[in-house]
Chain A
Amino acid sequence: MKSYKQRGYENRIELLQGTLDLMILQTLQWGPSHGYGILQAIRTGSGEVLQVETGSLYPALHRLERKKWIKAEWTVSENNQKVKSYQLTAAGKKQLAAERSNWERLTAAMAGILNPTEGPEGA
């Protein structure tokens, strides 16, 4: 049985899953990084707008690893600390490209809906 809180996490995962995956893959495109690093990169990259919770990040990382889009390795960070560092695989790069174009089509569509330049009759 799952507690209320746990279910809350799950809902958010569902909500964010597509975009979170895309964000993680995009972040890793610049080079390997560990969980905390990815979190910080997303936060600063989004101008402190997006706060990804660890309860979403780590399941996502482990899921992506299982799908073999990213692979993990224990390395030493610039702070001389042992960290689990993730990096994109070839499959992950392909997935990133696919999700990016999906996302672009989606945002374009959204933009079309939100800022109609022509009425439906004008088409």
Chain B
Amino acid sequence: MKFWRHRKDEELDAEIRSHLDEAIRDRIARGETPDEARADALREFGNVGLVKEVTREMWGWASLERFWQDLRFGLRMLRKHPGFTFAAVLLLALGIGVNTALFSVVDAVLLKRLPVNAPEQLVLLSRNSSGKTIDNFSFGMYERLRDHDRTLTGLLAYYPLRLTASIAGQPEPALNGQLVTGNYYAVLGVNAARGRTLTPEDDRTPGAHPVCVISDGYWHRRFGRDPKVIGQNISLSNQPFTVIGVTPPEFFGTEVGAAMDITVPLTMQEQVIPGIRSFMRGGTRFRLLGRLQTGATMAQAQASLGLLYQQYMADELQRISTSNKGKGPDPKMLAERLQVASGSQGLSALRRQFSQSLFVLMGVVALVLLIACANVAGLMLARAVSRRQEMAVRLALGAARWRLMRQLLTESLLLAGLGGLFGWLSAWWGTRLLLPWLSQGEIPLRLNLTPDLRLLVFTAVAALLTGVWFGFAPAWLATRVELHTALKQDVQAAGKHGGRLGFGQVFVVAQVALSLLLLVGAGLFVRSLQKLQQVDTGFARENVVVLKLEPVGSDGKWNVLPQLTSLYDELLRRTQAFPDVLAASLIGYSPMSRREWLTMGETPDTMATISLPEYTPSSDEEMDVHFMQVYPNSFAALGVPLLAGRDFTPQDNDKQAPPVAIINESLARRFFGNQSPIGRRFSNRLGAVEIIGVVKDVKYRSLREQERPMYYRPFQQPGTSRGQMTLVVRTTGDPLSLAAALQREARALDPAMPLFTAETLAAQLDASLAQERLVAALSSVFSLLALLLACIGLYGVLAYDVARRTHEIGIRMALGASSGRIVQLVLRETLWLMSIGVVIGLGTALAATRWVKSLLFGLEPHDPLTMGLAVLTLLVVAAVAGYLPARRAAKVDPLVALRHE
């Protein structure tokens, strides 16, 4: 632009020169001498500089020109006061930096991560069978719905499973895999980031398409983003599969909480899970997602699909009753109903769970920025007051007030711009600091954090708003000058205003209120975390190692029972042989393995409807309770106290043995009250079960969960086909070295088994609190930062006040006021400002903490202890900040002070 401007200037010069030349030539032609002609032409033309000036105004750049002027002047002013500039830029960079850092995470988690095309069109299918929601379908059901429905543009089926992989002959850690129909990626609208995705062509002939698509996460983790991965072989269950594509980083699969590693065509099921009969011929395993036609509503899809489903069930009933005369059809079948729910919700449940903490943190850092702004505004104000004379002089010389305000605002914007720039740079570093925190726990967070335009816009807007916010009041105040007084009086006197709260005080009060709000918030989060950590989980946290076991084929327990049993028995035998092992056993799911519990849902593998002979439930009473299959000795291994009766014995763990169960405290309390449940019975779908023991309640899913009824069965007894178990070992030795040894043993026993990492229960528990810890830690850090800023602000205002009142203090002391009295005088102002700030802050906190209620645990949003502690902290720190200037005031030498003027 400058260059352009330069050229236009030259052109104007040339134009004027040619004008003069023409005029001179004319005059010479009329008979004037060249010298006369030149002088006359120049006189006639007028003031060349002025003509240029007024002509330039027509270019429409005048305001820009003035802006440049302001900017240059502003830069000069900032250079002249490096201390002030440094402090202000630092404060702003800090405020803007934390905001940008957190926003980039929010952006990545909530805004950027729309994993599929138009998620609002997706619908999730489930079926309702006598009040229970089941989201698994058989392939036959899928085919019928897919082929006959007209409200969907496509319907996909997928089946998540664990895969045993090896690459170049070397075994790999277990992979999260899925079998999908060929239209999977087309229906979701996900394109490959590299290579190609699966197409229906890849899913035609069973056994003929050994190809797979891997996720960005797996590509990164295993192949280090090597572009040559396309075409490489990965062996799944010893069958080579060719990698044909990599999905984009933001696509994690459709399962909530699970991060998919590898996707294989459904027709390759028998290669991936050898020895199991084709999924396409039986069993209800598939989850179905469809995409609505444009214009079709969910209700229309519900009507169409619901009808097709009922027809299918009627046909099935017909087929069963004609082919199988012995067994009557299950009357429940006809009562089943198909349900259509929004698929985008299903896809984003986890994100929403995460999003709340992020929003809270976003609010926290926004408050930090506000405090930083108030702080800088205080600094600007002090400087504005000291610049009153300059302003007065300029106003007296005829400068318009708005022009001066614009000048001052330009300076604030300049500061904000610098703050924004440094904030942006520090955000880069801050995000990388933040990410490991966020990724703790079992939910892997793989974020695309490359700063993009949106982030830049965010920072720019933040900086701009900041600049206007902290710059306006000082600018307004600085230019509100009564000329004759300001010009006559010196700086000190000019800064004096009556007893009312000045702007500086207002900023301090605002900072106190805001930091109190942050302190209260941080206190609530920290105390919630403490309470969560103290929750009685029902199991021993320390010195317990868990290792997930998912042998190939364990999805169908009954098909592989002999192999499974011998594997598990042998593993237990070897584990018990380790020194330092107190107890070892197997349980269905380990506590706090969060992803497991999230993805598991309420399937027949974990829930059963029970009835009790002496108990008549009310009509709408929930009689579905959780159950878990365990090996004998599992309670000792987990450290769960047995409250009554006995544990399972190896004799119980037999399909032929009398059915027995151990119930938890909640179940006992609910159905048996104060009576002993030992020896009593309850029934599930398969018949009556005798209760042989009662154990303490255990929190399996999360530390926040309510106690709920639950029972345990010996591994061999329940009808579920789930065969995966988790090895639980309690040790007196080093849990980590034991973990490594256990992994090796498992590997040696069954080389085909997917390899999992053995973990301590303590680590799993810790991981389950990652989010809470993040919120507590960050809000603490930020509230302390806010407190520090508020104190600096308070100190600044008081110190300035003391300096301004040196003369007055001198008089007071000369008249006999003791230094103690002077200290009191200053502290009174501190107290006054603090109490206003505290009242406002507490009021705001009382109103605002409601919003974080769902993040709290074990305490109310209005927890008086937290509020009291926050106020106390604030008062103590503020007293220190106020005492320093007070002491300085007390040390004023009256003689010096009186001579001061």
A30-56 with Cβ < 8 A to chain B: 34-37, 40, 53-55
In the bound complex, what is the Cα–Cα distance between A106 and B468 (angstroms)?
A: 49
Interface string of A1-19 (1 = CB under 8 A from B): 1000110011001000000
Most chain-A CB neighbours within 10 Å: which of B46, B58, B399?
A: B58
B46 adjacent to A54 (CB under 8 Å): yes
In the bound complex, what is the Cα–Cα distance between A54 and B55 (angstroms)?
A: 10
- Quick check: is A79 within 8 A (CB to CB) of the other chain? yes
Q: Which residues of A contact B58 (CB under 8 A)?
A: 59, 62-63, 66
Q: From residue A34, how far is it (CB to closest CB) to chain B in Å?
A: 7
- Quick check: is B53 within 8 A (CB to CB) of the other chain? yes
A81 adjacent to B54 (CB under 8 Å): no
- Quick check: is A103 within 8 A (CB to CB) of the other chain? no
Q: Which residues of B contact A62 (CB under 8 A)?
A: 55, 58-59
Q: Which residues of B contact A82 (CB under 8 A)?
A: 14, 18
A35 adjacent to B15 (CB under 8 Å): yes
- Quick check: is B23 within 8 A (CB to CB) of the other chain? yes
Q: Given A55-B47, A59-B58, A66-B58, check contact A81 B18 (CB 8 Å).
A: yes
In the bound complex, what is the Cα–Cα distance between A100 and B399 (angstroms)?
A: 41
In the bound complex, what is the Cα–Cα distance between A58 and B17 (angstroms)?
A: 13
Residue from A6, A34, A35, A53 in contact with B53 in the complex, judged by beta carbons closer than 8 Å: A6
A84 adjacent to B54 (CB under 8 Å): no
Main secondary structure of the interface of B (DSSP, over half): helix
Q: From residue A16, how far is it (CB to closest CB) to chain B in Å?
A: 13
In the bound complex, what is the Cα–Cα distance between A77 and B18 (angstroms)?
A: 10
Q: Which residues of B contact A53 (CB under 8 A)?
A: 46
Interface string of B36-51 (1 = CB under 8 A from A): 0000000001110011
- Quick check: is B131 within 8 A (CB to CB) of the other chain? no
- Quick check: is A20 within 8 A (CB to CB) of the other chain? no
- Quick check: is A22 within 8 A (CB to CB) of the other chain? no
Q: Which residues of B contact A10 (CB under 8 A)?
A: 54
Q: Given A6-B50, A66-B59, check contact A84 B14 (CB 8 Å).
A: yes
Interface string of B1-41 (1 = CB under 8 A from A): 00000000001101110110111011000000000000000
Shortest Cβ distance from A40 into B: residue: B26
- Quick check: is B326 within 8 A (CB to CB) of the other chain? no
Residue from B12, B18, B397, B398 in contact with A34 in the complex, judged by beta carbons closer than 8 Å: B18
B387-436 with Cβ < 8 A to chain A: 397-399
Interface string of B44-73 (1 = CB under 8 A from A): 011100110111011110000000000000
B19 adjacent to A34 (CB under 8 Å): yes
B19 adjacent to A54 (CB under 8 Å): yes
Q: Which residues of A contact B14 (CB under 8 A)?
A: 82, 84
Q: Which residues of A contact B54 (CB under 8 A)?
A: 6, 9-10, 13, 55, 58-59
Most chain-A CB neighbours within 10 Å: which of B22, B53, B397, B399?
A: B22
Q: From residue A62, how far is it (CB to closest CB) to chain B in Å?
A: 4
Q: Which residues of A contact B53 (CB under 8 A)?
A: 6
In the bound complex, what is the Cα–Cα distance between A58 and B54 (angstroms)?
A: 8
Q: Which residues of B contact A40 (CB under 8 A)?
A: 26
In the bound complex, what is the Cα–Cα distance between A52 and B47 (angstroms)?
A: 14
Q: Which residues of A contact B47 (CB under 8 A)?
A: 5, 55
Q: Given A34-B22, A81-B18, check contact A55 B50 (CB 8 Å).
A: yes
Q: From residue A55, how far is it (CB to closest CB) to chain B in Å?
A: 5
Q: From residue B141, how far is it (CB to closest CB) to chain A in Å?
A: 70
Shortest Cβ distance from A84 into B: residue: B15
A5 adjacent to B18 (CB under 8 Å): no
Q: From residue B73, how far is it (CB to closest CB) to chain A in Å?
A: 14
Shortest Cβ distance from A1 into B: residue: B398
A66 adjacent to B50 (CB under 8 Å): no
Q: Which residues of A contact B397 (CB under 8 A)?
A: 1
Q: Which residues of A contact B23 (CB under 8 A)?
A: 36
Q: Given A1-B398, A53-B46, A84-B14, check contact A58 B22 (CB 8 Å).
A: no
In the bound complex, what is the Cα–Cα distance between A77 and B19 (angstroms)?
A: 11
Residues of B in contact with A, size category: 20 to 34
Q: From residue A100, how far is it (CB to closest CB) to chain B in Å?
A: 23
Q: Which residues of A contact B45 (CB under 8 A)?
A: 54
B19 adjacent to A55 (CB under 8 Å): no
In the bound complex, what is the Cα–Cα distance between A34 and B60 (angstroms)?
A: 22
A81 adjacent to B22 (CB under 8 Å): yes
Q: From residue A80, how far is it (CB to closest CB) to chain B in Å?
A: 10
B22 adjacent to A54 (CB under 8 Å): no
A55-112 with Cβ < 8 A to chain B: 55, 58-59, 62-63, 66, 77, 79, 81-84
Residue from A36, A55, A77, A81 in contact with B46 in the complex, judged by beta carbons closer than 8 Å: A55
Q: From residue B337, how far is it (CB to closest CB) to chain A in Å?
A: 70
A58 adjacent to B51 (CB under 8 Å): yes
Q: Which residues of A contact B55 (CB under 8 A)?
A: 58-59, 62
In the bound complex, what is the Cα–Cα distance between A91 and B14 (angstroms)?
A: 27
In the bound complex, what is the Cα–Cα distance between A40 and B50 (angstroms)?
A: 21
Q: From residue B50, how far is it (CB to closest CB) to chain A in Å?
A: 6
In the bound complex, what is the Cα–Cα distance between A59 and B21 (angstroms)?
A: 20
Q: Given A62-B58, A63-B58, A66-B58, check contact A36 B19 (CB 8 Å).
A: yes
Residue from A36, A37, A54 in contact with B51 in the complex, judged by beta carbons closer than 8 Å: A54
Q: From residue B857, how far is it (CB to closest CB) to chain A in Å?
A: 65
In the bound complex, what is the Cα–Cα distance between A53 and B18 (angstroms)?
A: 16
B22 adjacent to A79 (CB under 8 Å): yes
Shortest Cβ distance from A77 into B: residue: B22
Q: From residue A110, how far is it (CB to closest CB) to chain B in Å?
A: 29
Q: Which residues of A contact B21 (CB under 8 A)?
A: 81
Shortest Cβ distance from A60 into B: residue: B58
In the bound complex, what is the Cα–Cα distance between A83 and B15 (angstroms)?
A: 7
In the bound complex, what is the Cα–Cα distance between A86 and B47 (angstroms)?
A: 23
Q: Which residues of B contact A13 (CB under 8 A)?
A: 54
Q: Which residues of A contact B59 (CB under 8 A)?
A: 62, 66
Most chain-B CB neighbours within 10 Å: which of A9, A37, A40, A66?
A: A9
In the bound complex, what is the Cα–Cα distance between A52 and B580 (angstroms)?
A: 108
Q: Which residues of A contact B50 (CB under 8 A)?
A: 5-6, 9, 55
In the bound complex, what is the Cα–Cα distance between A120 and B16 (angstroms)?
A: 52
Most chain-B CB neighbours within 10 Å: which of A10, A55, A66?
A: A55
Q: Given A1-B398, A35-B15, A62-B59, check contact A55 B51 (CB 8 Å).
A: yes
In the bound complex, what is the Cα–Cα distance between A15 and B47 (angstroms)?
A: 20
Q: From residue A17, how far is it (CB to closest CB) to chain B in Å?
A: 12
Q: From residue A104, how far is it (CB to closest CB) to chain B in Å?
A: 28
Q: From residue B107, how far is it (CB to closest CB) to chain A in Å?
A: 42
Q: From residue A48, how far is it (CB to closest CB) to chain B in Å?
A: 13
Interface string of B280-323 (1 = CB under 8 A from A): 00000000000000000000000000000000000000000000
Q: Which residues of B contact A59 (CB under 8 A)?
A: 54-55, 57-58
In the bound complex, what is the Cα–Cα distance between A45 and B761 (angstroms)?
A: 102
Q: From residue B205, how far is it (CB to closest CB) to chain A in Å?
A: 70
In the bound complex, what is the Cα–Cα distance between A22 and B889 (angstroms)?
A: 73
In the bound complex, what is the Cα–Cα distance between A36 and B398 (angstroms)?
A: 36
In the bound complex, what is the Cα–Cα distance between A55 and B53 (angstroms)?
A: 9
In the bound complex, what is the Cα–Cα distance between A81 and B26 (angstroms)?
A: 13
Residue from A9, A55, A63, A79 in contact with B25 in the complex, judged by beta carbons closer than 8 Å: A79
In the bound complex, what is the Cα–Cα distance between A91 and B378 (angstroms)?
A: 55
Shortest Cβ distance from A58 into B: residue: B55
Q: Which residues of A contact B11 (CB under 8 A)?
A: 84
A37 adjacent to B46 (CB under 8 Å): no
A1 adjacent to B51 (CB under 8 Å): no
In the bound complex, what is the Cα–Cα distance between A82 and B13 (angstroms)?
A: 13
In the bound complex, what is the Cα–Cα distance between A55 and B47 (angstroms)?
A: 8
Q: From residue B399, how far is it (CB to closest CB) to chain A in Å?
A: 7
In the bound complex, what is the Cα–Cα distance between A36 and B21 (angstroms)?
A: 9
List of 5 A-B pairs having minimum Cβ-Cβ separation, nearest first: A36-B22, A62-B58, A58-B55, A84-B15, A36-B19
Interface residues in chain A, defined as those with a beta carbon under 8 Å from any beta carbon in chain B: 1, 5-6, 9-10, 13, 34-37, 40, 53-55, 58-59, 62-63, 66, 77, 79, 81-84
Given A35-B15, A55-B47, A59-B58, output 12 extra A-B contacts at Cβ < 8 Å: A1-B397, A6-B53, A10-B54, A36-B23, A40-B26, A53-B46, A54-B45, A58-B15, A58-B54, A77-B22, A79-B22, A84-B18
A-B contact pairs, 6 of them (CB 8 A): A10-B54, A55-B46, A58-B54, A59-B58, A83-B15, A83-B18
